[in-house]
Amino acid sequence: MKYNKVNERIIRRLKKIVGERNVTTDPEKLEIYSHDEEGHPRVEVMPEVVVFPETTQQVSKIMKLANEELIPVTPRGAGTGLSGGAVPLYRGIVLSLEKMNRILELDEKNLTITVEPGVVTGEIQKFANRHGLLYAGDPCSGDSSFIGGNVAENAGGNKVIKYGPTGSHVLGLEVVLPNGEVTFFGGKRVKDVTGYNFVQLMIGSEGTLGIVTKIVLRLLPLPKYVVDLLVPFKTMKEAIDFVPIIVREGKIVPTSIEFMDRPSLLLTEQFLNAKLPYDDAEAQLIIELEGNNKSAVEDDYERIGNLCFEHGALEVFVADNRNTRERIWRIRKSIAEAVNALYPANCLEDVVVPTSNIPELMREVDEISRKHNVKAISYGHAGDGNVHVTFLKDEKDSEEVWIKKLKAALEDLYSITKNLGGTISGEHGIGLKRRDYVELVLDKAQIELIKSVKRAFDPNLILNPGKIVRFE
Amino acid sequence: MKYNKVNERIIRRLKKIVGERNVTTDPEKLEIYSHDEEGHPRVEVMPEVVVFPETTQQVSKIMKLANEELIPVTPRGAGTGLSGGAVPLYRGIVLSLEKMNRILELDEKNLTITVEPGVVTGEIQKFANRHGLLYAGDPCSGDSSFIGGNVAENAGGNKVIKYGPTGSHVLGLEVVLPNGEVTFFGGKRVKDVTGYNFVQLMIGSEGTLGIVTKIVLRLLPLPKYVVDLLVPFKTMKEAIDFVPIIVREGKIVPTSIEFMDRPSLLLTEQFLNAKLPYDDAEAQLIIELEGNNKSAVEDDYERIGNLCFEHGALEVFVADNRNTRERIWRIRKSIAEAVNALYPANCLEDVVVPTSNIPELMREVDEISRKHNVKAISYGHAGDGNVHVTFLKDEKDSEEVWIKKLKAALEDLYSITKNLGGTISGEHGIGLKRRDYVELVLDKAQIELIKSVKRAFDPNLILNPGKIVRFE
């Protein structure tokens, strides 16, 4: 791909579109926009210019200009991505959506909320809650990530088994196409078979097909009662085998079914400087239940609790108030922080396998760990088979050795995941990080379809080039 | 588009692929495959040949042959479609999936069921129920339509507000592409961001992008208790204004919120030869609630019942056993039958508007009815804004007058739907019936994207040509 450089004339035109204050070429500022939160190693590329449009019209004009001048544009949300999706690989323009951060409308009659892409997801949740409603999208990064980024990555999180990933809540999208045209896919409706489902095609397309400038989200009733169970199991197999039993015999789809392996727990203990109960158990489940009827929620957790004991749980800790609930989730949510604090060089994965294959995956991860002599911990979303295998750099290893070991370990992890009927990314995206592994899990026909659909939307390949698949 | 004819050589090759018994050119049999259940008037085109493949490999070989020989292929499920989607507009091959009708696997560990496209949807529901599980896709045609057709149309039905349309339950699809290549999109996982979301792009694409040969569906727990409320309201506005209150104040997403206007009810009374209570009410709601905790379901219906009275309901009939429940649904489900019996020439629509705009839509339908002097009744899915406006041919009108009136009425209906923030098809599809109206609701950019995505999948335009948009 051959792109043009951002010259003075382009800068002047950009300034004319978004105003002087919304264009920066200051190297210190550009550096912030050269990477996302991908682990270590990560790719960093300095953009030539960063623009901060405030309206759809401005985004449209920027795209029209870039498309005519053949300048690559990389859209960016909060920069909290984990797969290098917001890295401006071919330099050019980074189009930051941070100034398009308004909640535009709460429609209490149709139970929708319409927002700009730069709103922090947690703000949408809080706003809905204040009106007695729930925005059920809940990525773990919700306190910092933008809804636009959630849409671009089809962000998941802890509540996907009950509510689905981000895409399940999106009814409509205003989109600026790569040539600057503005269109609107979908609308305030859960049913729509007028043409192809471009709403869902946009979701998870990692900013390669268009720039989302407005999002219509569906809202649900806010549950009043929430209970969490922390359940240690002697073996990983017992823990995972229990997951479908919750649904089949427990007759319920919980809000969350999370798991942590023993190394994750030990690491978190070390980080929190605390001793946790049953830290010799091979696996811990967190099961979250919720509802609006107190006695029904109580019935649910008693039933699930009894089932736990019947199926080998060592203990069932029940947290039915905010304080105890937060204590349980603190463990789960501190894992990533503990990893980053104790192993600043690490690689966080998000492979996904059919849930029943998690124990086999865990055995294979142990094997990979031994084979390549690289530490690994695993935790994540047991309910949907999405496992955060995380490789940790041993401080004794040189940078070069770590990169070599990691590459070999990732290749094995991805191959095994594929063999177990899974895929290499459940919620973080392909971006740059996994681009060269896509062919492991998608066949040639699919790669060709990705390329031709990309060209259908973006014939000049100017939007977020170099992501998901290679064109050259 | 220029296609070749099906000659003797092609017939011989087809027979070699699927066996003599699975190829027919018998005109009497071909007639069955010349139309679907679109209303009156409807398009009928005789195929040149109908083939009944039994395996994916056979479908692949047929497509390879057709693609090389430039012969149009129209895939077909049960033929219960309502938009002419299965009509072989350019003749050629009808590829019937009725012999690919096996339930392949129930995976109780991962709570999925894998089926071929020719399985009747109701059979999947019953099969899941026998194992204590729920397949939550539930189009009104479930007793006769095939799951493959449900996928092709993203079929909706009465339970979409709680469970979503067909697409919400589909995890993976085996697809034969127009060139005969076989691929698999998705898998046994609710999270997947590896490449574009081709699973959801396929769903609702009306057999224009590929032929689905295997479907992996998600299963849910089967609720034990179901209660239906039949609630007459004096005015349509009161009935519809009550819909979001159920969610907001009732704190629940019911399984169904259906509505019927007075003319629908009167027609059904006439058909059933029965007098129904409160048939002078302008609108009736049916609200279905379900759960596994009896007292919680009772609490729910008492709470919702009280809210009904607070918001103007004339009465609340509670049906909490199969007998009374069936009596309520009989009314709702007899409407289409009553229409077909009393007005054999009719046109069933499925426009969708933001729920709060249903009363306005109803006023406009009255206006259209007066303006064009054509009878209309309306009923449907209040919870998701999907309204089955049905125009009825007056027996005094000649065929010619009816067609002229209907055309004018449809044009008005679609324009008004668009102006109310809606779209022209929520669950029946565009097919042939609405193809020439798509430009009313989709802008030029979207039409172009539909065409270029279609070409990306099917460069020779051989798969179900002439549907959704015009290429010439």
The CATH number given to whatever domain includes residue A372 is 3.30.70.2740
Residue A1 has pLDDT above 80, yes or no: no
Question: What pLDDT is recorded for position A277?
Answer: 83
How many of the other CB atoms lie within 10 Å of CB of A28? 7
- Most A-contacting residue of B109, B160, B193 (CB-CB within 10 A), to test interface: B193
A–B CB contacts, 8 A cutoff, strictly below: 281
Nearest Cα residue to A441 out of A408, A419, A426: A419
- Sheet holding B346-348: strands in order across? B346-348, B390-392, B375-377
Q: Which of A335, A363, A393 is the last residue of a domain?
A: A335
Cβ contact A55:A101 at 8 Å: no
- Residue B93 inside a domain? The answer is no
* Subunit contact A251:B168, Cβ cutoff 8 A: no
Give B32-71 pLDDT, tens digit per residue.
Answer: 999 999 999 999 999 999 999 999 999 999 999 999 999 9
Nearest chain A CA: its distance from B221 CA (Å): 5
Q: Residue B235: CA atoms inside 13 Å, Cβ hemisphere, count?
A: 8
At CA B129, angle to CA B429 and CA A287, rounded to 5? 95
Give A326-375 pLDDT, tens digit per residue.
Answer: 988 988 989 999 999 999 999 999 999 999 999 999 999 999 999 999 99
Q: Which of B221, B253, B269 is the last residue of a domain?
A: B221
What's the whole-number mean pLDDT along residues A32-57?
96
CA dist list (Å): A302 to A287, A297, A308, A466: 12, 9, 10, 51
- Residue B13 inside a domain? The answer is no
Nearest Cα residue to A169 out of A126, A215, A131: A215
CATH code at A113? 3.30.465.10
**What distance in Å separates the CA atoms of residue A41 and residue A43, rounded to the nearest whole number?**
7
Nearest Cα residue to A218 out of A263, A186, A244, A194: A186
- Which residues span the domain enclosing B296? 225-335
Sign of the dihedral through C-alpha A163, A164, A168, A169? positive
Nearest Cα residue to B106 out of B83, B78, B134: B134
- Cβ-Cβ contacts under 8 Å for B300 (sequence gap 6 or more): A293, B227, B250, B252, B289, B291
Nearest residue of B to residue A248 by CA position?
B221
* Subunit contact A453:B456, Cβ cutoff 8 A: yes
Nearest Cα residue to B371 out of B406, B342, B420, B418: B406
Give start and end residues of each alpha helix (H) in B131-235: 147-153, 160-163, 198-202
- Residue B381 inside a domain? The answer is yes
- Ramachandran sector of residue A124 (left: φ over 0; alpha: ψ -120 to 50; beta: rest): alpha
How many of the other CB atoms lie within 10 Å of CB of A404? 14
The tally of domains found in chain B comes to 3
Residue B361: phi, psi to the nearest 5? -60, -40
- Residue B361 inside a domain? The answer is yes
Task: Report chain A residues whose CB lies below 8 A from the CB of B164.
Answer: 168, 190
Is residue A111 domain-shared with residue A205, that is, in the same domain? yes
- pTM summary value: 0.97
Nearest residue of B to residue A132 by CA position?
B248
Nearest residue of A to residue B300 by CA position?
A293
Residue A423 DSSP class: B
The alpha-carbon radius of gyration of chain B (Å, integer) is 23
What is the distance between the terminal CA atoms of chain A, rounded to a whole angstrom? 7
Is residue B209 domain-shared with residue B243, that is, in the same domain? no
What's the whole-number mean pLDDT along residues A110-124?
98
Confidence of residue B385 (pLDDT cuts 50, 70, 90): very high
From A191, A253, A291, residue closest to B426, measured CB to CB: A191
* Subunit contact B200:A197, Cβ cutoff 8 A: yes
Nearest Cα residue to A286 out of A253, A314, A319, A264: A319
Is residue A133 domain-shared with residue A145, that is, in the same domain? yes
- Residue B4 inside a domain? The answer is no
Nearest residue of B to residue A294 by CA position?
B296
What's the whole-number mean pLDDT along residues A417-431?
97
Question: What pLDDT is recorded for position B331?
Answer: 87
Nearest chain B CA: its distance from A141 CA (Å): 16
Mean pLDDT score across all residues of chain B:
96
Is residue B312 domain-shared with residue B407, that is, in the same domain? no
Six token digits for residue A424: 């290499």
* Subunit contact B193:A167, Cβ cutoff 8 A: no
Nearest Cα residue to B430 out of B208, B161, B114: B208
Residue A89 DSSP class: T
Q: Which of B186, B205, B221 is the last residue of a domain?
A: B221
Is residue B295 domain-shared with residue B205, that is, in the same domain? no
Six token digits for residue A370: 């031994």
- Ramachandran sector of residue A79 (left: φ over 0; alpha: ψ -120 to 50; beta: rest): left
- Most B-contacting residue of A133, A168, A170, A193 (CB-CB within 10 A), to test interface: A193
What is the distance between the terminal CA atoms of chain B, rounded to a whole angstrom? 7
Cβ contact A14:A63 at 8 Å: no
- Residue A162 inside a domain? The answer is yes
Give start and end residues of each alpha helix (H) in A343-461: 358-372, 399-419, 438-441, 444-457
The DSSP line for B98-112 is TT---EEEEETTTTE
Strands B49-51 and A386-392: unpaired
Question: What pLDDT is recorded for position B231?
Answer: 97
* Subunit contact B385:A427, Cβ cutoff 8 A: no
Helix A56-69 and helix A8-18: axis angle, to 10°? Answer: 160
Six token digits for residue B111: 């709570």
Cβ contact A17:A58 at 8 Å: yes
- Residue B44 inside a domain? The answer is no
Is residue A194 domain-shared with residue A217, that is, in the same domain? yes
Nearest chain A CA: its distance from B389 CA (Å): 16
Residue A374: phi, psi to the nearest 5? -135, 130
Residue A92 DSSP class: S
Is residue B318 domain-shared with residue B355, that is, in the same domain? no
Instruction: Count Cβ atoms within 10 A of the Cβ of residue A203 and give its class: 0-12 exposed, 13-18 middle, 19 or more buried.
Output: buried
Question: What pLDDT is recorded for position A279?
Answer: 87
Q: Is B343 helix (H, G, I), strand (E, B) or coil?
A: coil
* Subunit contact B133:A248, Cβ cutoff 8 A: yes
* Subunit contact A160:B190, Cβ cutoff 8 A: yes
Task: Report chain A residues whose CB lies below 8 A from the CB of B110.
Answer: 244, 354-356, 385
Cβ contact B360:B413 at 8 Å: no
Is residue A123 domain-shared with residue A229, that is, in the same domain? no
CA B369 from centre of chain? 25
Is residue B330 domain-shared with residue B353, that is, in the same domain? no
Is residue A172 domain-shared with residue A204, that is, in the same domain? yes
Nearest residue of A to residue B252 by CA position?
A221
Cβ contact A387:A358 at 8 Å: yes
Question: What pLDDT is recorded for position B1?
Answer: 76
Give B201-248 pLDDT, tens digit per residue.
Answer: 999 999 999 999 999 999 999 999 999 999 999 999 999 999 999 998
Residue A472 has pLDDT above 90, yes or no: no
Mean pLDDT score across all residues of chain A:
96
- Residue B36 inside a domain? The answer is no
Instruction: Count Cβ atoms within 10 A of the Cβ of residue A375 and give its class: 0-12 exposed, 13-18 middle, 19 or more buried.
Output: middle
Is residue A230 domain-shared with residue A321, that is, in the same domain? yes
- Most A-contacting residue of B191, B297, B386, B443 (CB-CB within 10 A), to test interface: B191
Instruction: Give the alpha-carbon dihedral of B125, B131, B133, B137, to 10 degrees.
Output: -10
- Most B-contacting residue of A109, A196, A242, A289 (CB-CB within 10 A), to test interface: A196
What's the whole-number mean pLDDT along residues A41-62?
97
Cβ contact A40:A346 at 8 Å: yes
From B107, B421, B423, residue closest to A194, measured CB to CB: B423
Nearest chain A CA: its distance from B243 CA (Å): 8
Task: Report chain A residues whose CB lies below 8 A from the CB of B253.
Answer: 220-221
* Subunit contact B247:A205, Cβ cutoff 8 A: no
Sign of the dihedral through C-alpha A349, A353, A355, A357? negative
**Residue A72 preceded by cis peptide, ω within 30:** no
Nearest chain A CA: its distance from B299 CA (Å): 8
* Subunit contact B453:A456, Cβ cutoff 8 A: yes
Place of tokens 């896509």: A438
Is residue A294 domain-shared with residue A392, that is, in the same domain? no
Strands A73-76 and A93-96: parallel
Residue B472 has pLDDT above 90, yes or no: no
CATH code at A316? 3.30.70.2190
**What distance in Å separates the CA atoms of residue B134 and residue B131, rounded to the nearest whole number?**
9
Give A245-288 pLDDT, tens digit per residue.
Answer: 999 899 999 999 999 999 999 999 999 998 888 989 999 999 99
Residue B315: phi, psi to the nearest 5? -165, 160
Question: What pLDDT is recorded for position B276?
Answer: 80
